[in-house]
Amino acid sequence: MTRVQGIEARDTRHCETTALGVLLRHRGIELSEPMLFGLGAGLSFVYWDSKSMGFPFLGGRVKPFELTRNLAATLNLDLRVKETASPRRAWENVAAPIDAGHPVGLQLDSHYLDYFGSDVHFGGHIVAMYGYDDHVAYLVDTAPDHGAVTSRLESLARARAARGPMTARHRSFTLDVPPDTPSPRARIASAIVACAEAFLNPPIANLGHRGIGKAAASVRTWLDRTEAPHLDLPGTAFLMERAGTGGALFRNLYRDFLAESTETLNSRRLRTGHTLYAEAATLWTAVAELIERAGASADARCLERAGDLLVDLARIEHEAMRALSGLDATTGT
């Protein structure tokens, strides 16, 4: 058996920040999950619908692994990423750092993991691996359902080799902390500004505040989009509230990041952004509840109300990000 010592599973909710927390604590950097999410400029919004999809998708964060790349760039971390089409080389890429005493991040399809118990394929799932023996891999995944877990090596191999939406070719990664790494709190303002500018200036109308506006119009028609509203609508609500988002489609995490940031930065703009995202988080949870209720009752009025709230949310988040984009990235004022 080979296991990295001192690995701790925390009460975390989002897979990528869970893995990043494990890797950075091992390197001596202790950050809360909201701070990891915010420094990685993780907040976003995507409304996605196409003829090939059975039902529209609402997403609240940047695409998988972009948060990790953002965090590494923000903190000048040494991010080493390896991908390969070879299962043998893929295992070597994981075993070598663990044998040297360092945990490894993995991107994979959570459907194949022994402990996950989900029929849904998600190729953008990320876990931290810190050990293995002849039969199982030792992993850290999100709490409260998972935490410190094991998965058979053959199951892990299938998860890593999976192809499809959001998958990567046996992607593994490690993080190191060079001597010139800045204090994380010195980079809060620049991370906030980067996130705000991306949200305010999306390349397509499905993203950012414009995407929320599109969702506001679309959600009102969802009972006509499905033959199984009792499955599709509660499924969407589950993804918004409980599928690794931290609640409120990641807005709880960003709200808490902004609150923690106010302890470091004395900024009126930051306090405004925090107040507005606290309001937004409450409304996103209300939207999820209305969507779930519509699925159970087939009552279109629930979706009309959800659409009205999404109109409000597009305005609130636009206002919040405008305030946050005006932060001075150097001084945080």
For 276-306, write each residue's pLDDT tens digit.
Answer: 999 999 999 999 999 999 999 999 999 999 9
Which position has the token pair 């059975």? 54
Average pLDDT, the chain: 95
Confidence tier at 147 by pLDDT (50, 70, 90): confident
Q: How confident is the model at residue 198 (pLDDT cuts 50, 70, 90)?
A: very high
Q: How many CB atoms lie within 10 A of CB 82?
A: 18
CATH fold of 184-325? Four Helix Bundle (Hemerythrin (Met), subunit A) (1.20.120)
State which CATH number among 3.90.70, 2.60.40, 3.30.750, 3.30.70 fits the domain covering 2-30+78-176: 3.90.70
As a whole number of angstroms, the distance between CA 5 and CA 184 comes to 25
Asked if 67 and 14 count as a contact pair (C-beta separation under 8 A), the reply is no
pLDDT at position 223? 95
With 90 as the cut, is the pLDDT of residue 144 above it?
no
The structure tokens listed for 88 are 């043998």
User: Which pTM does this prediction carry?
Assistant: 0.96
The answer to whether 175 and 24 have CB atoms below 8 angstroms apart is yes
Domain locations along the chain: 2-30+78-176, 184-325
In whole angstroms, give the CA distance from residue 143 to residue 73: 27
CB atoms within 10 A of CB 174: 23
pLDDT of residue 199: 97
State the pLDDT at residue 332: 67
